[in-house]
Each structure stands twice: as C-alpha cells, then as structure tokens.
Structure 1
C-alpha cells in the first residue's frame, strides 16, 4: 500500500517484515501525529471526515488493475465475485474456528444472523461489480491526525479488494458507538462529498445496505467467537435495524 501514498492519503512504506519465536512483526516508515481519528471531538471530526472521504476517493482513481477479482489480497488474480464474497460471511473461517457453534448458543442472535444472510442473498444479484481497495479498519486507531490534517493511514492488514463504499458503510455502522460525534450529520457529509463528485454512485443505497449488513454479521460472528456477549447482542440489534 505504500506504493499508493499521496499527499492527501499518506501511507508509510513497510521497510522490514519478519518473525520472532512466537510472533510476526512489520516495521514501517515513521509518520507524525498528535492523535488518532477515533479520538477526535465533534468540531475536529467535522474538519477531518471530509478530508478522509476525499482521500479515499483519490485512492480509487489510481491504477488498481493488478488483479481482477475481489477478496482479501489475492494478487494472483483469483477470487470470488463481490456478491459471493459478501455471502461467504456465513461460511466457516480458520481465524474464527467454531464461531457458528458459539453463536448457536444464543437463539435470538443466531436467528438475526441468518435473517441477515437471507437479506444479503436477495440484494447480491442486483449489485454492480465494483472493485477498489477497502481499508476496512479506519476506526481502530489506524489514522493519525495533526493540525487538522491527516498525517498517516496505516495497518492495511484487513484491507481487501471490493466495493469502496464499504469504508463509507463502516462509518455509518459504527457512528452510534461514538457518543462524542452524535451531533454530526455523517450522512449529510457523505451527501456533500458526492455532490462535489458530480452525484452519488450507481445503486448507492443498495450497495451501502449490503455493506452495512455484512459488517454487522461479521462482528456478530467475531464477538461470538471471542465470547463478547454484550457486543454480540448490540451488533445483532443493529443488524435488525437494516432488515
């Protein structure tokens, strides 16, 4: 990702990777920053969020044709369609071994999860095949800020090729979880962003809805796996709103 760095989206290059006896490591170039994006107050976020949306848009304007398929970093060009990638949320995952068995202990949350998968199944056939780079983790202390400007966007370990609106959906999904931002009209900021770009992308409503449901399902599964019952139930409640 360091190859895609630009003034509006500074991405430090990784200069060394390796393995210890029990862990892996990556060393990158140093980037400055006074705080993280998710620690900003309301007035600061009002300044930074439009910058970030503009930067993500500029990222998609770069040449991303090194692969043809979507998914979690498949540089050899193999992978699923975007719709199939979304629906794979219900499949077993090596990194979350046993998540479904744990989820099934909670009948309400399991039924909401299954209803979400069914809803995705109805949306997927009508979604356009749009391909870009998705960071997928911007609200987890991975964006540095200084003097009301983005100074570093790092930790692309959860990034994938897919619909770039997924990063927008992540802000919509997690917004209620940040009490300090509840006075901000995040949807209005997004609308203004697309006005500057000549109009909203095709089928934006359906694309965002599919991403929102997928995000919720992903975190229901993750929280079940991690035995984080309270967060699992909260994510299930949020998915229910989209159904």
Structure 2
C-alpha cells in the first residue's frame, strides 16, 4: 500500500527548512520575559500555525508555543480548566502576547507521538486512546452553539447538522482561497461537490449531540508513555458537537498509516461503543456524516496548500464514505 499522508505532512524541503530555522525573535522573547528563571529555549517543532519551545521555568519543565493565532492558545487554556487532568491535558501556566504574536506556556508532557507507533505499539495503546476520548466526551461543554468554538465558549452554528454542512459555505480566513484553488486543481470540484451533496442529505438526521471534540487527534497531537495516553495536545481545532467525530477521525486516517493496517479500527470503534453503551441505531449514520466531513475538510486544506496529490487521495476517500459506510 502507498504511504498516504494526513493533511499538513506533505511539504517541500524549502518548507521544512523555513519551519525549523531558528526564530531569534521568539527565543529572545522567552529569555527576556523570564530572565534567569528560564533555561535557554530549545525548538521542539513547528507546525502550520505555531512553533513550540522547551525550557525549564523555576525548575519545572514547560513548553511555550508562539504563533499568530491567540485564540488557539486561549482554547488550550480553557480545555485545561475543563479537563482538570482528564486525558492528560497539560495545565497552562500563562497566555499572552509576544510582540505581534501570541504565546502559551504549559506544563511539559513526555512520550512518543501516537503517529510514530508501530502496529504492536498501537494495539497496546488503543484501549487507552478510546477510553481517553470517551472521557473527553464526558467533559462539560459550556457556552453555546455548535462548531469551532471561540475562547468565550460560543460557537457559530445552531445545530450539529449546520456545522457539518457549513464546509461548503464561506471560507475560513485561515484557508482563504481554497475554493478557487480546488476548482482550478487537477482534481476539480466534482468529487467535493458529490460528497457534500450527500452530506447535505444525511446531516439533518444527525442528533444535536453537543460534546467537546478535539478534531485533530493525529499529526503529533497525542503522546504515549508506558502503553497509555500521556497527553492530548493542541485544542485549537476543537469543536462543540458529536464526540463520535474523534472516532471517525481515527477510522478516516487509519489507512494512511501502513503499520496499523492489521488492526480493524472500524471493528474496534464499534466494539468500544457497544461496550460503553453508546452504540445506537443512528451510530453508523453519525459516523458516516463525520467521515464525509473530514474528507471534505481535508480537501479544502489540500487545495489551500496546493497539495494536489493528497487532494486527489482525499477526494477519493471522501467519496468512499459518501457512497456508503
């Protein structure tokens, strides 16, 4: 099987160099802000929206993330309060501005990234992963609305169905221009439109379940230690809606990790839901709608980044679920 990449993992050498090059301004900010209380910061990694630095503060290990979008860091802080240790959500020490950018400092968690596990490692940790996400579904979801919530705990949509079908509506500013790029891509809009039409037909039957959803479980956002989940990181993409979305996320991206292919993730998810009493007559419908949405969202991101190969792959995968599940 071809090694398929989740969105965001495909990049050029120039992109990689740009992301991992020293950021003197960020490093100087940490040194100036904390002075002798802090050890020299070390770049841990850089994603699409922020960079992460490790250092000690007053002798304790912490991580500072610095980026353009302060609302992401405010959501990390809000979830840390809501979770109160559930699921290994690191406690936040401080949030604020770093010049023209924003920052969050949180306790450092250790472990291996979930994405890097081999088949045996994933088989060992899967029960912990499923139980952790169940604990997240049980957390309070304060505020109002459905969809991507803001730091004030409000979300833009009146129903979960509206959240799902909004993927075909106005563009989010962070990925502005993706619809034109999709239309002009080698794949074109055809597969996206077919899948979104199916989603529009199915979504109104989805119940308005309102839970906390991570919605970005892979791409180095989950740490594993001792065969268990040690941390769930980066809640910037978090939603209010059907918590089955996080389980659908695993089902959707599973084939993109060949080392996990011997684990039937769909069967594992269904068994987990039956065991917890969460399986119902509408479970497959709810999962199917989430799966289609994930595929559509991936296409919008791939179009925005110009990743035509991965756009084609996600267009094909979204149609798999649009045509049946």
TM-score bracket for this pair, using the shorter chain length? over 0.9
- The worse-fitting range, judged by mean Cα deviation, of 165-174 and 46-55 is 46-55
C-alpha distance in structure 2 between counterparts of 1:63 and 1:224, whole Å: 35
User: What's 1:84 paired with?
Assistant: 162
Cα deviation, residue 153, structure 1: 1.0
Query: Contact 1:47–1:148 at 8 Å: present in 2 too?
Result: yes
User: What's 2:138 paired with?
Assistant: 61
User: What's 1:42 paired with?
Assistant: 119
Structure number with higher relative contact order (C-alpha < 8 Å, ≥ 6 residues apart): 1
Helix, strand or coil for the counterpart of 1:84? helix
Helix, strand or coil for the counterpart of 1:9? helix
Q: Deviations over 1:214-241 (max 9, x none)?
A: 1111111111111111111110111121
C-alpha distance in structure 1 between counterparts of 2:90 and 2:280, whole Å: 29
C-alpha distance in structure 1 between counterparts of 2:219 and 2:136, whole Å: 20
Q: Give the alignment's TM-score, normalised by structure 2.
A: 0.70
Q: Summarize the alignment of residues 178-189 of structure 1 with structure 2, pairs less than 5 Å apart.
A: 178-189=257-268
Q: Give the alignment's TM-score, normalised by structure 1.
A: 0.93
* Number of residue equivalences: 241
Cα deviation, residue 199, structure 1: 5.1
Alpha-carbon RMSD across the aligned residues, in angstroms, is: 1.7
Query: Contact 2:138–2:211 at 8 Å: present in 1 too?
Result: no
Cα deviation, residue 22, structure 1: 4.6
Task: Say if 1:109 and 1:182 are closer, same or farther in 2 by CA, change over 3 A.
Answer: farther
Stretches of structure 1 lacking an aligned partner (at least 5 in a row): none
Cα deviation, residue 2, structure 1: 1.0
Stretches of structure 2 lacking an aligned partner (at least 5 in a row): 1-78
Cα deviation, residue 202, structure 1: 4.5
User: What's 2:273 paired with?
Assistant: 194
C-alpha distance in structure 1 between counterparts of 2:162 and 2:83, whole Å: 30
Query: Contact 2:140–2:211 at 8 Å: present in 1 too?
Result: no
